Amino acid sequence: MKTIIVGGVAGGASAAARLRRLDEKAEIILLERGEYISYANCGLPYYIGGEITEKDDLTLQTPQSFQSRFAVDVRVRHEAAAIDAARKVVRIRDHEKEEDYEESYDKLILSPGAEPVRPPLPGIEDKRIFTLRTIPDTYQIHEYIRKTQPKTAVVVGGGFIGLEMAENLTHAGIAVTIVEFADHVIGPIDYDMACEVHRYLRHEGIELLLGRAVKSFHPGESALAVELDNGGVLQTDMVLMSVGVRPDSALAKSAGIGTNPRGAILVDDYMRTSDENIYAVGDAVEVKHQVSAMPSYIPLAGPANKQGRIAADNICGIDSVYRGSQGSSILKLFDMTVASTGLNENSAKVAGIDYDKIQTYSASHATYYPGANNISIKTIFEKKTGRILGAQLVGFDGVDKRADVIAAAIRAGMTAYDLAELELCYAPPFSSAKDPVNMAGFAIENLITDKVRQFHWHDVEAVRKDENALLLDVRTEEEYAEGRIAGAVHIPLDSLRERLPQLDRTKTLYVHCQSGLRSYLACRILSQNGFDCLNLSGGYRFYEVVVGDCAFDGAPAHPCGIKI
């Protein structure tokens, strides 16, 4: 069996290694148009910022080491120029010799990856405008910074690479402005959770311009002018374009292989394309979302590795199926960690799922042990069953392991009841007896078993205008003095029982505390004493973060007129 693999890095290199492990006699050719077949794509920003200091640390396998270990015919600087599917032949361009040749195959695996979107804006060809996707991109940016010592940078796009670069450029002593067309950074998380990130970024000295698009670039000798769609102009020393990626599928299209409107290669559960002898993996393919079962585009390293392995299995006669991606991702942002997995609110709506959401705020480990920090968790769940659909987490310690637990729970089809019952490792330096994952399960269970009803930050303004509603603040005197929702009646939780006669039983009570826990206790007291009561999900803390963000380029669609 002769297999040609087009493209290395996560998907292609994984497929080649798996093929060799399964079949010592197979003929395997790996084509890579660049010089690197396996490198730490996700580590590139950290070389620019100085966290990674050695160039060699970015290279996971060299062509020589890969060839020695796996007996794969590795051909760097060899580009697959065309595929003749009828003849089962690839035309290859040798960039060293500047000549073409043909190579036949029994099976072909396409792993071309994705390429950065570089919109055709006026002035975008200026040499001070960069993208970051490959090792050569990294070296180019690093060398520019070393030679020119830029003082300012504009990052266009607030996704993962954009934010990682914002952090690392800051570490390099450069003042950074992020321009993001959407109303929030980090597309996989919802607007309200992103507000926590916005506040932190501003605290770290990064300027955020949300709901703004770049219109054009105007090169000057001393600076590069970035013109925005609202007429504003930013003067900067360099620009990083990070507005997303698109599938590098031109080769597949020219061979008549099926693609979707976005250009992603269509594959079945076995990673086969529309041609039974051609497989495709990685950032160039459309996948099924594991939770919603809807077609999705999720360019992540983990799924690419698994897809490469599955394609190799099937070529070797092993019935291996890819069951979909759920988009588990994590981001380090200075000292903050942001993670998400499964569906967010928008994707749950698009999928037509009857969902609900809840915000919890729990300590990363026992509060009496030094160094505890709270983790803000937003959990998306199916109303009827309590099945966990997705989660978003923002915090400073212990976010990664909670996100991984919830990701595994989603993959296993677990419900809130299961989260509540999970037996997780506990010792004071690591967790609490009631882990933040358990707390999310408890809170959802309380909702679906009608122990409490809830309302959200975006409901507050309507509540304030409702004559039949009463906002009730059950925080302490000190908390109330530091900030409050205008018009709320204040009765601390510990004096609530004795002051029940002061409350109007004809009104619905909308109760809040700082995080949502004490107000839940208040609602249990109130409901068992004949009051109609709802609890503010996430509490005043979350409410204040979200509506406070509206003072900074908030999108008009969000209720920025709420009084705090």
Report the catalytic residues: 42
441: Cβ contacts below 8 Å, ≥ 6 apart: 416, 417, 418, 419, 420, 421, 422
Q: How far apart are CA 475 and CA 394, in angstroms?
A: 23
Residue 266 is given by DSSP the state P
Angle between helices 436-448 and 399-411 (to 10 degrees): 50
CA distances from residue 57 to 44, 134, 140 in whole angstroms, order as listed? 10, 14, 17
Question: For residue 176, what are the β-bridge partners?
Answer: 153
Q: How far apart are CA 197 and CA 192, in angstroms?
A: 10
Phi first, then psi: give them for residue 149, nearest 5 degrees. 50, 60
Amino acid letter at 74?
Answer: V
Task: Name which of 116, 339, 329, 147 is nearest 237 in CA terms.
Answer: 147
DSSP 3-state assignment of 161? Answer: helix
Residue 428 is given by DSSP the state T
How many Cα atoms are found within 13 Å in the side-chain-facing hemisphere of 52? Answer: 18
How many Cα atoms are found within 13 Å in the side-chain-facing hemisphere of 250? Answer: 7
Task: Name which of 288, 147, 153 is nearest 226 in CA terms.
Answer: 153
Phi first, then psi: give them for residue 511, nearest 5 degrees. -105, 140
User: For the purposes of burial, counting CB atoms within 10 Å of the CB of 503, is it exposed (0-12), middle (13-18) or buried (19 or more)?
Assistant: middle
Consecutive H or E run containing 312: helix 301-315
319: Cβ contacts below 8 Å, ≥ 6 apart: 313
Q: How far apart are CA 326 and CA 337, in angstroms?
A: 19
Q: How far is CA 342 from the centre of its chain?
A: 10
Amino acid letter at 116?
Answer: P
Give the long-range contacts of residues 135-140, CB within 8 A, separation 24 or more: 135/34, 135/35, 135/36, 135/39, 135/44, 135/58, 135/59, 136/34, 136/35, 137/44, 138/44, 138/47, 138/48, 138/58, 139/55
Phi first, then psi: give them for residue 272, nearest 5 degrees. -85, 140
Task: Name which of 56, 19, 64, 51 is nearest 39 in CA terms.
Answer: 56
483 touches 521 (CB < 8 A): no
Q: What are the tokens at 450? A: 């009608």
